[in-house]
Amino acid sequence: MFRVLLLAPPGAGKGTQGSMLSERFGIPHLATGDLFRHHIEEATPVGVEAKAYVDAGELVPDELVTDLVLGSLDTDPPLSEYILDGFPRTLPQARVAFEWARSTGRTFTAVIMLEVPVGELVTRLIDRGRESGRSDDSIDVIHHRLHEYGTRTAPLIEFYESRGILHRVDGTGSIEDVAQRIDVELANAGFASSS
Ligand code: AMP
């Protein structure tokens, strides 16, 4: 079963690779950053609560995140396969996600970790900020987001490595090269795309 988590620092290409993976394998893709940006734009109660955290480059509190994400995955009928991008991002979120997945028989089958040197991440995020005007792609906020990743998300690497489902992928080079490396890792894990 194709239940894949993309784990990577900001700017590593999770969003781009997540939507391409979704197309190649025909599996729904849930990006929590997009979900929050949508709620903020629509000024929903979740969006109003999350806005200050997202704008400051801080992680949104775990409880708000887990309720929102697991709620989106609890569809009727339940999604048996999915690509998660940006969740879980802290150990408490990972534990809640694991309990949820275990209780519904839908634990992650592979975690793809994209590796990109920090200098390149900063350059990519600054360039993206210029093009998209994303409020959290300014230099101070970028540094804060990278710090949040290093202190709060990086411990997930060990969490998934110890479960034997972590696949490290070089995230540098062209989008197509990275997509091909992901496909090789997924093929090693028993998943072949149709294209
Ligand atoms: P992203 O688009 O994945 O870089 O996410 C943008 C922002 O959304 C992050 O900087 C956080 O403020 C928030 N966010 C997204 N996913 C999570 C998560 N799993 N836990 C906490 N905050 C999150």
CB within 6 Å of ligand 1 — which residues?
Answer: 10, 32-33, 36, 53-54, 57-60, 65, 86-89, 93, 136, 145
CA distances in angstroms from 116 to 13, 80, 168, listed in the order given: 9, 31, 11
Question: How far, rounded to the nearest angstrom, does the alpha carbon of residue 180 sit from its chain's CA centroid?
Answer: 19
Where do we find the tokens 């197309």? 23
Distance 23 CA to ligand 1 centre (A): 23
Q: Determine the distance separating the centroid of ligand 1 and the alpha carbon of 139, expressed in angstroms.
A: 17
Q: How far is CA 126 from CA 26, 38, 179, in A?
A: 31, 22, 23
Q: What is the pTM of this model?
A: 0.93
Q: Are 69 and 35 in contact (CB under 8 A)?
A: yes
Per-residue pLDDT tens digits of the chain, which is 195 residues long: 899 999 999 999 999 999 999 999 999 999 999 999 999 999 999 999 999 999 999 999 999 999 999 888 888 887 889 999 999 999 999 999 999 999 988 899 999 999 999 999 999 999 998 898 888 888 999 999 999 999 999 999 999 999 999 999 999 999 999 999 999 999 988 887 765
pLDDT tens digits, residue range 5-56? Answer: 999 999 999 999 999 999 999 999 999 999 999 999 999 999 999 999 999 9
Nearest CA to 84 among 45, 44, 112?
A: 112
Contacts 24+ apart (CB under 8 A), 40-47: none
Residues contacting 11, CB < 8 A, separation 6+: 116, 120, 121, 122, 124, 125, 128, 142
CA 67 to CA 64: how far, in whole Å?
Answer: 6
Residue nearest to atom 12 of ligand 1 (CA): 54
pLDDT value for 194: 61
- Closest among 110, 106, 109, 99 to 80, alpha carbons compared: 106
Q: How far does residue 59's CA lie from ligand 1's centre (Å)?
A: 6
Tell me 77's DSSP state.
S
Could you give the CA distance from residue 182 to residue 118 in angstroms, rounded to a whole number? 20
